């Protein structure tokens, strides 16, 4: 490049450039954000507010009947004590599912983080996560094929021990838990894995050099350091399980009565929308309380969900 | 110890895939009562072709999934651009507002939508389903595109501007091409999320317009027939394919971590 | 004209003032380094000149035109970023041609200019490669070509060599100097590496906490630092504290030290700076040549680095001093030895604190 007369170049600025920047910045930001948040406002926030209002109604507003506001729906736990039992069942179900996912998932994540490398690990991760993103209904239906009387379990049993009875346990509470665990295990494995994979090898080596045996390393180092992943996975398992109704119905049959199915009933069978709304909001309150309690951990622990 | 770990992982994989494999296999078994021994047959898939209800539900599902993917990707990408590149107050609040569709149990969101749409006269059916599905898919799109943004350094746009690009030109000539894989991935993701969506669809569907998962659910409640296995297998392969393509293309953040 | 003028520029973030009243002139065709520790504001100043940041007050003028309100894309600058910021989805040629396209130069003419630019940075024929196929040094040179091909009014470099290893960095410094001389571009170069600043620049501007502490030719800034910070940041320095007396500065132990340049009124306290390489070691008790300053000290630590020796000494009143000596004859004095230090008043500078 010859050293040109420098003055000739300075006057030629880039084309399309003006001193004024054009659209004001705040307007551009608004245009970008409004469609999304407008949509969410209409599709999520307003409905939740509406349901909140409904929960104070006496009866589903149909036709010309006047709307009466009452707290009756929220008192339903005292007027219909059997609901307490159902609530308790739901909580237990949530607890057992979360616990099983935590134990199984943590060790799977541990195995992934420490016993596999590179390509194998990536492939395994994709394989493990793949079912999570497929249709939950289909997966639950698959379990009926295995757990029903005469299903896969029984077939295997009879192949080994012909003439035995049935071990199919479809339409029991355990079946529901098995189906739910199957559904949420991959997610728990992911969150635990992300937490475990950041633990430096050197930490474990340092512990070993100081005399720690494997159980010490497990309970005093690995689990505490993976706690954020465990907790965020647990919260994001427990909450959806609380609200599940499809799994209890399909896998539990008549035994599958949970808060979720009760709420669903109000909307599809009993047409008692105010009661459904009140129960929903009670559940929402519980959910929000759980999130609030663990908000610190959740923010740190749930890095890449995709 | 490593051997034990590998065995355990294999067991987990068996647990995860066994029911699915069994379910798929039974779709190819002749017996209508799922009885063994296994005789291969495609008659259930043939019967499927004649099952108008399931077919129309399937078509509805795909149409809704495609529209959802397109709309949510456009909206979500725009929001993502604003969140990633523009500075303003209240970003955390806006990011929090994306959580309800994913974090709140869909039972609650679904029934809320039902109530609201009834009260405002929107009713149920295709338009209601679209509103609901898009609302659900947007957070995922923002998440995926947002993660993609993090891999694009801000100084690339600055370099373009220093060479004479206006901010808009810099976005379209530098950022957008680099973001393309993430956007595509987000669209695939949204497609799969919509296709598999059951709970919201359950409350917003009508007897005249329903989606495949809802139809499958009704069929299951009536009784098990291998036709359900056939359609479930198709649905499963469809969403698995979409997710696999996504996994290969968009390389989501948490998975591709190397040690 | 392509000089740059910065007048009374200031910038505050929140409650932290990052730049305070910066006024200086970058003459046409000059190579100026902005040198300072992190947080000194040097990068902020560069980005204000570039147009990425608008100053809270003050003006920026390029070539006599006030560009304070002009956005960055209209200022006709060329910038090289610390991370090179090459567009990964474009080839080298497309990267270099980017600015040309924005100026309406496309097709054959653009290709010609791109080829010439690549030749200038000694990367002929690299046009079809992608950035990720290039080494760090090569990417750097492509970034340089991209910024220069558009014939900018001013070339701005933001610590462009800090990601390179030592050897490569020295090679690139030579290249940069050559290119700048050939093109005559007004260049402003941000760095925290003092050696780099001294080697490359016509002028060095030392920044400390948002202010230009001193600006001048490398030799002037190095040999005649104005403040304690300037003396310490650019090279090493010893400091002697005392009170101003007739003819010099009297230290606590009574020694009179003569220095370069006028002093303020007698009785005030003063700090004198002396560079470690300017002192020589004489056996204890020797009187040095007439006119030289002398100070007694004891060797505490000896650092043997091969070609150079560093002695850490302490004076009777506890002041710690450093001395760099060339390893001329292989003799190394032992720790604990008492010596006399001698140096010229010309190398003794009174500095502000």
User: What are the tens digits of pLDDT across the range B208-245?
Assistant: 899 999 999 998 888 888 888 888 898 888 888 888 88
pLDDT of residue B252: 47
Mean pLDDT over residues C149-176, rounded?
A: 89
Domains and CATH numbers, chain C: 4-230 (3.40.50.300), 236-351 (2.40.50.140)
Name chain B's partners: 3 or more CB pairs within 8 A. A, C
Chain B residues near residue C103 by CB distance under 8 angstroms? 164
ipTM over 0.95: no
What tens digit of pLDDT does each residue of B144-189 get? 898 888 888 888 999 999 999 998 899 899 999 999 988 988 998 8
Burial class (CB in 10 A: 0-12, 13-18, 19+), B4: exposed
What tens digit of pLDDT does each residue of C294-349 get? 888 999 999 999 899 999 999 988 889 999 999 988 888 889 989 999 999 889 88
Give which of C145, C171, C177, C127 is closest to C78, Cα–Cα: C145
Structure-token pair, residue C169: 């960095």
What strands lie across the sheet with C211-216, from one edge to the other? C77-80, C154-158, C186-191, C31-35, C203-208, C211-216
What residues pair up with C296 in beta bridges, in sequence order?
Answer: C340
Chain A residues near residue B240 by CB distance under 8 angstroms? 130, 134
Chain A residues near residue C1 by CB distance under 8 angstroms? 6-7, 10
The residue among A66 and B213 whose pLDDT is bigger is B213
pLDDT of residue B60: 92
Closest residue in chain C to residue A17, using alpha carbons only = C74
Task: Tell whether A271 is within 8 A of chain B (Cβ).
Answer: no
Are residues B185 and B244 in contact, defined by beta-carbon separation less than 8 angstroms?
no
Q: Which CATH class is domain B18-238?
A: mainly alpha
Give which of A291, A303, A28, A41 is closest to B94, Cα–Cα: A41
Closest CB to B159: pick one of C71, C79, C102. Answer: C79
Are residues C48 and C19 in contact, defined by beta-carbon separation less than 8 angstroms?
yes
Give which of A120, A93, A129 is closest to B12, Cα–Cα: A129
Q: How do the domains of chain B map onto residue ranges?
A: 18-238
User: Measured between alpha carbons, how far is A304 from C271 in angstroms, rounded to an integer?
Assistant: 57
Structure-token pair, residue C15: 């409650």
Closest CB to B161: pick one of C73, C82, C89. Answer: C73
- Assign residue C306 a region: left if phi > 0, alpha if psi is -120 to 50, beta otherwise? left
Task: Tell whether B19 is within 8 A of chain A (Cβ).
Answer: yes
Task: Tell whether C333 is within 8 A of chain B (Cβ).
Answer: no
**Per-residue confidence band for A299, with pLDDT thresholds at 50, 70 and 90:** low
Closest CB to B156: pick one of C85, C147, C156. Answer: C85
Mean pLDDT over residues B139-146, rounded?
A: 91
Minimal C-alpha gap between B179 and chain C (Å): 11
Structure-token pair, residue A134: 């497929």
Closest CB to C89: pick one of B164, B167, B177. Answer: B177
Minimal C-alpha gap between B214 and chain C (Å): 44
SS3 category, C224: coil
The residue among C261 and C337 whose pLDDT is bigger is C337
User: Measured between alpha carbons, how far is B1 from B7 in angstroms, rounded to an integer?
Assistant: 10
Name chain C's partners: 3 or more CB pairs within 8 A. A, B
Is the confidence at residue B117, as pLDDT, over 70?
A: yes
**Per-residue confidence band for C264, with pLDDT thresholds at 50, 70 and 90:** confident
Q: Where do we find the tokens 């991959």?
A: A186
Is the confidence at residue B255, as pLDDT, over 50?
A: no
pLDDT of residue C188: 95
Is the confidence at residue A23, as pLDDT, over 70?
A: no
User: Measured between alpha carbons, how far is A97 from A243 in angstroms, rounded to an integer?
Assistant: 13
Please identify among residues 36-75 of chain C the ones whose CB lies closer than 8 Å to any CB of chain B.
50, 52, 71-74
Chain B residues near residue A14 by CB distance under 8 angstroms? 163-165
pLDDT of residue A22: 53
> Which among B26, B36, B79, B111 is the top mutation candidate for probing chain A, defined by the most A β-carbons within 10 Å of its own β-carbon?
B111
What residues pair up with A92 in beta bridges, in sequence order?
Answer: none
Segment among B90-99, C111-120, C134-143, C154-163 with least mean pLDDT = B90-99
pLDDT of residue A8: 36
What tens digit of pLDDT does each residue of A195-204 get? 888 888 888 8
Is the confidence at residue A67, as pLDDT, over 80?
A: no
Give which of A14, A12, B162 is closest to C95, Cα–Cα: B162
pLDDT of residue A9: 36
Give which of B64, B86, B70, B35 is closest to B194, Cα–Cα: B64
What residues pair up with C77 in beta bridges, in sequence order?
Answer: C154
Half-sphere exposure of C167 (CA within 13 A, CB side): 0
The number of C-beta contacts closer than 8 angstroms across B and C is 60
Is the confidence at residue A81, as pLDDT, over 90?
A: no
Is the confidence at residue C234, as pLDDT, over 90?
A: no
The number of C-beta contacts closer than 8 angstroms across A and B is 284
Are residues A97 and A181 in contact, defined by beta-carbon separation less than 8 angstroms?
yes
Q: Taking CB atoms and an 8 Å limit, are C103 and B166 in contact across chains?
A: no
Half-sphere exposure of A165 (CA within 13 A, CB side): 2
Task: Tell whether C103 is within 8 A of chain B (Cβ).
Answer: yes
Q: Taking CB atoms and an 8 Å limit, are A3 and C184 in contact across chains?
A: yes
Structure-token pair, residue A133: 């993103």
Domains and CATH numbers, chain A: 81-305 (1.10.3720.10)
Torsion A207-A212-A213-A216 (CA) sign: negative
pLDDT of residue B257: 32
What residues pair up with C191 in beta bridges, in sequence order?
Answer: C35
User: Measured between alpha carbons, how far is C184 from B152 in angstroms, rounded to an integer?
Assistant: 34
Q: Which residues contact C174 (CB under 8 A, 6 or more apart)?
A: none
Residue B37 preceded by cis peptide, ω within 30: yes
Residue C134's φ and ψ, nearest 5 degrees, are -100, 155
Minimal C-alpha gap between B158 and chain C (Å): 8
Are residues C54 and C9 in contact, defined by beta-carbon separation less than 8 angstroms?
no
Chain B residues near residue C78 by CB distance under 8 angstroms? 162-163
Mean pLDDT over residues C204-216, rounded?
A: 92
Helix ranges, C3-123 (H): 42-50, 92-102, 107-120
Task: Tell whether B49 is within 8 A of chain C (Cβ).
Answer: no
User: Measured between alpha carbons, how far is C299 from C322 in angstroms, rounded to an integer?
Assistant: 10
Q: Taking CB atoms and an 8 Å limit, are A44 and B101 in contact across chains?
A: yes
Segment among A57-66, C161-170, C293-302 with least mean pLDDT = A57-66
Q: Taking CB atoms and an 8 Å limit, are A6 and C184 in contact across chains?
A: yes
pLDDT of residue A64: 64
Give which of A4, A255, A229 is closest to A110, Cα–Cα: A229
- Look up residue C352 and give its DSSP letter: B
SS3 category, C302: strand
Query: Considering just the CA atoms, what is the radius of gyration of chain B in Å?
Result: 22
User: Measured between alpha carbons, how far is B204 from B126 in angstroms, rounded to an integer?
Assistant: 8
Minimal C-alpha gap between B156 and chain A (Å): 18
Are residues B197 and B133 in contact, defined by beta-carbon separation less than 8 angstroms?
yes
Are residues C174 and C196 in contact, defined by beta-carbon separation less than 8 angstroms?
no
pLDDT of residue B251: 56
Q: Taking CB atoms and an 8 Å limit, are B165 and C73 in contact across chains?
A: yes
Task: Tell whether A16 is within 8 A of chain C (Cβ).
Answer: yes
Percent of chain C with pLDDT over 70: 100
User: Measured between alpha carbons, how far is A24 from B198 in angstroms, rounded to an integer?
Assistant: 43
Segment among A147-156, B60-69, C33-42, C190-199 with least mean pLDDT = A147-156
Percent of chain A with pLDDT over 90: 23
Chain C residues near residue A14 by CB distance under 8 angstroms? 73-74, 76, 99, 102-103, 150
Is the confidence at residue A304, as pLDDT, over 60?
A: no
Are residues A203 and A221 in contact, defined by beta-carbon separation less than 8 angstroms?
yes
Please identify among residues 285-304 of chain A the ones whose CB lies closer than 8 Å to any CB of chain B.
287, 291, 303-304
CA dihedral angle for residue B147, residue B151, residue B157, residue B163, rounded to 10 degrees: -160
Task: Tell whether C68 is within 8 A of chain A (Cβ).
Answer: no
């Amino acid at each position: 490049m010859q050293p040109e007369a420098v003055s000739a170049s300075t006057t030629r600025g880039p084309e399309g450039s003006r001193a004024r920047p054009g659209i004001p910045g705040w307007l551009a930001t608004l245009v970008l954000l409004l469609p999304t948040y407008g949509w969410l406002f209409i599709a999520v926030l307003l409905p939740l507010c509406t349901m909140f209002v409904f929960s104070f109604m006496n009866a589903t507003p149909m036709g010309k009947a006047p709307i009466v506001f009452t707290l009756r729906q929220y008192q339903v736990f005292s007027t219909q004590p059997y609901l307490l039992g159902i609530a308790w069942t739901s909580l237990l179900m949530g607890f057992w599912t979360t616990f099983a996912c935590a134990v199984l998932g943590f060790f799977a994540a541990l195995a992934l983080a420490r016993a596999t490398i590179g390509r194998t690990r990536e492939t395994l991760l994709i394989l493990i996560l793949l079912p999570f993103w497929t249709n939950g209904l289909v997966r639950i239906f698959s379990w009926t094929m295995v757990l029903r009387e005469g299903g896969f379990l029984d077939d295997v049993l009879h192949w080994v021990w012909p003439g035995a009875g049935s071990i199919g346990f479809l339409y029991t509470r355990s079946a529901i838990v098995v189906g739910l665990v199957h559904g949420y295990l991959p997610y728990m494995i992911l969150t635990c894995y992300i937490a475990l994979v950041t633990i430096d090898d050197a930490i474990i080596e340092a512990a070993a050099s100081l005399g720690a045996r494997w159980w010490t390393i497990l309970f005093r180092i690995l689990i505490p350091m993976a706690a954020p992943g465990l907790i965020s996975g647990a919260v994001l398992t427990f909450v959806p399980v609380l609200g599940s109704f499809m799994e209890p119905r399909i896998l539990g049959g008549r035994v599958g009565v949970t808060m979720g199915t009760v709420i669903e009933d109000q909307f599809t069978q009993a047409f008692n929308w105010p009661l459904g709304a009140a129960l929903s909001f009670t559940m929402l309150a519980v959910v929000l309380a759980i999130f609030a309690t663990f908000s610190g951990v959740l923010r740190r622990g749930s890095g890449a969900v995709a | 110890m490593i051997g034990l770990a590998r065995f355990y992982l294999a067991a987990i994989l068996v647990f995860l895939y066994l029911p699915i494999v069994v379910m798929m296999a039974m779709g190819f078994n002749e017996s209508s009562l799922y009885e063994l021994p296994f005789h291969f047959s495609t008659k259930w898939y043939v019967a499927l072709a004649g099952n108008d209800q399931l077919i129309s539900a399937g078509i509805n599902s795909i149409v809704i999934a495609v529209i959802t993917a397109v709309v949510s990707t456009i909206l979500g990408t725009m929001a993502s651009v604003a969140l990633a590149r523009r500075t303003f107050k209240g970003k955390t609040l806006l990011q929090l507002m994306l959580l309800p569709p994913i974090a709140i149990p869909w039972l609650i969101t679904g029934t809320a939508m039902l109530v609201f749409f009834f009260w405002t006269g929107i009713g149920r059916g295709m338009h209601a389903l679209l509103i609901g599905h898009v609302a659900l898919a947007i957070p995922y799109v923002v998440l995926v595109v947002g993660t993609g943004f993090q891999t694009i350094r801000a100084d690339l746009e600055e370099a373009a501007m220093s060479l004479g690009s206006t901010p808009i030109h810099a976005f379209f000539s530098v950022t957008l091409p680099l973001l393309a894989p993430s956007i595509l991935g987000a669209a695939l993701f949204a497609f799969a999320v919509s296709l598999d969506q059951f709970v919201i669809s359950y409350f917003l569907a009508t007897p005249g317009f329903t989606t495949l998962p809802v139809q499958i659910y009704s069929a299951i409640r009536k009784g098990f027939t291998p036709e359900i296995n056939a359609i479930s297998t198709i649905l499963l392969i469809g969403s698995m394919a979409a997710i696999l393509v996504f996994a290969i293309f968009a390389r989501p953040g948490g998975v591709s971590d190397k040690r | 004209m392509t000089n740059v003028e910065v007048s009374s520029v200031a910038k505050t973030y929140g409650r932290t003032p990052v730049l305070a009243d910066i006024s200086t002139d970058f003459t046409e065709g000059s190579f100026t380094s902005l040198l300072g520790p992190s947080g000194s504001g040097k990068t902020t100043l560069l980005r204000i000149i570039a147009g990425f940041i608008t100053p809270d007050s003050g003006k920026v003028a390029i070539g006599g035109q006030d560009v304070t309100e002009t956005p960055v894309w209209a200022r006709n600058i060329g910038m090289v970023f610390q991370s090179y910021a090459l567009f990964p989805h474009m080839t080298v040629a497309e990267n270099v041609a980017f600015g040309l396209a924005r100026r309406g130069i496309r097709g054959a003419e653009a290709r010609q200019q791109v080829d010439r630019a690549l030749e200038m940075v000694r990367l002929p024929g690299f046009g079809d490669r992608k950035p990720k196929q290039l080494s760090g040094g090569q990417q750097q040179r492509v970034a340089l070509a991209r910024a220069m091909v558009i014939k900018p009014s001013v070339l701005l470099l933001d610590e462009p060599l800090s990601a390179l290893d030592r050897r490569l960095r020295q090679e690139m410094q030579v290249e940069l100097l050559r290119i700048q001389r050939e093109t005559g571009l007004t260049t402003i170069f941000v760095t925290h590496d003092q050696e780099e600043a001294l080697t490359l620049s016509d002028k060095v501007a030392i920044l400390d906490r948002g202010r230009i502490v001193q600006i001048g030719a490398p030799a002037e800034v190095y040999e005649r630092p104005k403040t304690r910070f300037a003396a310490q940041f650019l090279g090493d320095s010893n400091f002697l504290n005392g009170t101003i007396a007739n003819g010099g500065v009297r230290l606590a132990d009574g020694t009179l030290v003569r220095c370069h340049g006028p002093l303020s009124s007698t009785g005030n306290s003063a700090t004198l700076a002396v560079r470690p390489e300017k002192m020589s070691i004489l056996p204890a008790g020797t009187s040095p040549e007439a006119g030289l300053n002398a100070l007694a000290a004891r060797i505490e630590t000896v650092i043997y680095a091969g070609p150079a020796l560093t002695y850490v000494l302490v004076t009777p009143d506890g002041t710690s001093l450093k001395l760099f000596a060339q390893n001329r004859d292989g003799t190394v004095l032992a720790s604990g030895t008492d010596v006399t230090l001698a140096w010229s008043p010309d190398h003794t500078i009174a500095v502000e604190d």
